Amino acid sequence: MLRLLVFLNQFSVLFVESYNFSFPSFDVESCSNGRNLTCWGSVTAANETLNLTPDQPQNNSNKVGRVLFSQSIPMWPASFSTIFAIRILTNQSISGDGMAFLIAQDDKPSPPHSYGSFIGILDPSTQRCALHQLAVEFDTYRNEREIDGNHVAIVTTNMESPVAVKSLNDIGIDLRSGRNITIKIDYDGWAKVLEISVAYAGQPLVNFLSQEIIMQEIVPHNAYVGFSASTAYFSELHQVLNWNFTLYELPERSLKYGLDPEKEKIALLVAIPVVVVLLAVAVSFLISARKDRKERLQRKEDIEMLTRTAANAPQIFTYRRLSNATKNFSKDKILGTGGFGSVYKGVFSDPPTTIAVKRINATSNQGEKEYLAEICTIGRLRHKNLVQLQGWCHDREQLLLVYEYMPNGSLDKYIGKIFLDWDTRFKILSGLASALVYLHEECGNPIVHRDVKPNNVMLDAEYNAHLGDFGLARLLQNENFVTTMVAGTPGYLAPEVSYTGRVTPESDVYSFGMVVLEVVCGRRSKGIMEENSLVECVWSSYEKGALLECMDQKLEGNFDNAEAMRCLITGLACLHPDRILRPKMRKVVQVFMNPDEPLMKLPESRPSVVCVSWHSSPCSTMTITTTTTTDYTPVAVNMEIIPDEVTVSYEYAYETKKY
């Protein structure tokens, strides 16, 4: 009831003076003379962040940094709210000491010996009432008589006896995690309460610590706000990423603690109808929350039923087991990050098994749809060149997929970077081709992967290829193509998909052709439309009759000429702009496995004419033709007259070369 009375009393301050400033980021000029910040000690600004201590470990001991807003602010009678993001980085298992949000009595630098556990707030000469200030401390090093090395404390005159202290371990926040941490500090000048809320960036704030503070007894009327940080024997980088501060002045009567009896009677008369309204709102909220919870549970049951009814459904894991296996999804366990989330390395203790856990990004607009597609599609697939889905989890609003672990990582880490001999490269391409044959022709309903690229080709201990990440896969369901939003990776995306948004097995063939050229030539593609692109270089060598000139120079000629020639011709054939003229993946496997299998026929040179036709009926055709010298160029058209069916075709000179 007291809080309600205080709230009602605050209506009298709607039109008082307010102060606000905001720093969305910081630049190298932030600490310059004449700017809004005054910096002392080791403070620097770079890369849109404010570094309170140096970012060089060899020069980061016994350092103190302090930064204050250059203008004084009337701290009482007033209410204020400040929100900022911090990041603390270290490469050592032990580091310190921490940083603080500060309300200082003047605009002077930190005391001279305030390094280490004093965090730039006090020093031995200023302890115990020498300074009139208030600090919210974020401590990363456990000193004597402190609860731990990961806590928040409210400090006034003595670092060893804080007004309030609480460990961040209670809410699962680690100051030294290297992650961005959002902190909100609110002070209610009527109720005399300081509240601190904390969360990792992007997550809901948690009301962490609340403490009664009578501001006029601690800091002067006009004071300065800012930050300080320090190190002692161990290096630690303390950064402020952004900062917003808002203060509202209150009337003098707010300095009085509590309400007088007469005002309390008046407030009670007003409070009764307000309480009734609030109760009605609360009941409505509870009903809505219960309905949302019921819908979430129903969605979870639907997902579980969907996987249980599928053939060879993968195992269901608990969130706790996967969290333990990945050390609470530690950043040290991250194997890679994609469009829908990160993949973590995990280890089950009983029996000892290494796994890869894909954690679907909860902020992705398609995360749940992606998750369901993977569960329904991959759960029934069995092939030696596919990444095997071992299980899944849908718990605590988390979407998790468990795969077999691939110790040699993804293929993209090798192309142009780490040497692979020819036999290994040929084995990888043959395995990838075999996986696509299985998806397109052998697994029942044909499956289009839609994102074939080196990042999604995983390598086991023997460098066998395993095609993974079916997040973009769609069942064809007895249709000739899948129509959906354009998805995939530029450079690997077939041209007709860009025009129509329709994917077919032939669009996977196109992506495979680009992977073939990258693996054989030992370089990444710049994209087919770029000048001096990989595709252009291979075509140029083909036109000169010297196709092997584009082989990876790191091989130093140690490769099978016939196999190399077959790979390059296959890659160019798969990259044919007309999907109808691309080979089937079964033909590709036959060419790779059988030296006597006839090769695909290629045109004399790259296409010189692009023809785009829109067919609305057998009697209605619109054709736009443009001529280019080297590459085809998409033609701009009036999208309002495009009918449902779109066909993209390319003219070639049909004379062929023989190798």
pLDDT, tens digit (0-9, with 9 covering 90-100), for 291-347: 877 876 776 666 666 555 555 567 888 889 999 999 999 999 998 876 667 899 999
pLDDT surpasses 60 at 158: yes
- Judged against a pLDDT cut of 50, whether residue 472 lies above it is answered with no
Q: Once rounded to an integer, what is the mean pLDDT over residues 513-527?
A: 90
Task: Tell whether the model's pLDDT for residue 620 goes beyond 70.
Answer: no
Instruction: Over range 513-532, report the average pLDDT.
Output: 82
Q: Is 569 helix (H, G, I), strand (E, B) or coil?
A: helix
Return the higher-pLDDT residue of 650 and 357: 357
| Average pLDDT value for residue range 403-412 | 93
Q: Judge whether residue 613 has pLDDT over 50.
A: no
Any idea which of 35-44, 125-134, 260-269, 573-582 has the lowest mean pLDDT?
Answer: 260-269
Q: What is the mean pLDDT of residues 419-447?
A: 93
Which amino acid makes up residue 264? E
| Interval 520-532 mean pLDDT | 74
pLDDT value, residue 447: 86
337, 567, 400, 249: which is closest to 391 by C-alpha?
400
Domain at 314-405, CATH class: alpha beta
Pick the CATH number of 18-249 from 2.130.10.10, 2.60.120.200, 1.10.10.10, 1.10.230.10: 2.60.120.200
Return the closest-CA partner of residue 307 out of 263, 372, 235.
Answer: 372
Reported as a pLDDT band with limits 50, 70 and 90, residue 362 is low
Q: What pLDDT band is residue 205 in, cutting at 50, 70 and 90?
A: very high
- Average pLDDT score over residue span 408-436: 95
Query: Topology of domain 408-606, per CATH?
Result: Transferase(Phosphotransferase); domain 1 (1.10.510)
- Greater confidence (47 vs 436) lies with 436
Question: What is the token pair recorded at 36?
Answer: 């809004």
The pLDDT value given to residue 437: 96
- Listed in sequence order, the DSSP H helices in 125-219 are none
pLDDT of amino acid 625:
35
Amino acid 452: pLDDT = 92
Domain range annotation of the chain: 18-249, 314-405, 408-606
pLDDT at 306: 58
What is the reported pLDDT for 377?
Answer: 64
Which of 60-64, 455-459, 564-568 bottoms out in mean pLDDT, i.e. has the lowest?
60-64
How remote is the C-alpha of 639 from its chain's centroid?
34
CA dihedral 169, 171, 175, 178 (to 10 degrees): 120
Question: What's the pLDDT at 645?
Answer: 36
Measuring CA to CA, which residue among 86, 97, 28, 89 is closest to residue 63? 97
Residue 54: pLDDT band with limits 50, 70, 90: confident
Average pLDDT over residues 634-645: 36
Residue 156 has pLDDT above 70, yes or no: yes
Given a cut of 90, whether residue 263 has pLDDT beyond it is no
Asked about 170 being catalytic, the answer comes back as no
Percent of the chain residues topping a pLDDT of 90: 51
Structure confidence at residue 655 as a pLDDT band (50, 70, 90): very low
Answer yes or no: is pLDDT of 464 > 80: yes
Please give the share of the chain, as a percent, with pLDDT higher than 70.
77
pLDDT in tens, 221-232: 999 999 999 998
**Confidence check: pLDDT of 134 > 80:** yes
Higher pLDDT, 6 or 125: 125
Report the alpha-carbon distance of residue 474 to residue 306 in Å, rounded.
Answer: 16
Say which of 451, 469, 508, 552 is annotated catalytic: 451
Low-confidence winner among 21-30, 334-343, 477-486 (lowest mean pLDDT): 477-486
> What was the pLDDT predicted at 207?
94
Average pLDDT of the chain to the nearest whole number: 81
The confidence score (pLDDT) of residue 623 equals 34
Lowest mean pLDDT among 96-100, 299-303, 318-322, 648-652: 648-652
pLDDT band at 46, cuts 50/70/90?
confident
25 CB burial (10 A radius; 0-12, 13-18, 19+): middle
DSSP summary character for residue 119: T
Q: How far is CA 474 from CA 6, 376, 485, in A?
A: 58, 10, 12
Q: Is the pLDDT of residue 129 over 80?
A: no
Among 195-209, 441-455, 644-658, where is mean pLDDT lowest? 644-658
Q: Is the pLDDT of residue 253 over 70?
A: yes
Q: Cα 222 vs. chain centroid, distance in angstroms? A: 42
Give the pLDDT of residue 624: 33
Q: Which residues contact 305 (CB under 8 A, 6 or more apart)?
A: none
Asked if residue 583 has pLDDT above 80, the reply is yes
Q: Which of 412, 44, 498 is nearest to 240 (CA)?
A: 44
Q: How confident is the model at residue 16 (pLDDT cuts 50, 70, 90)?
A: low
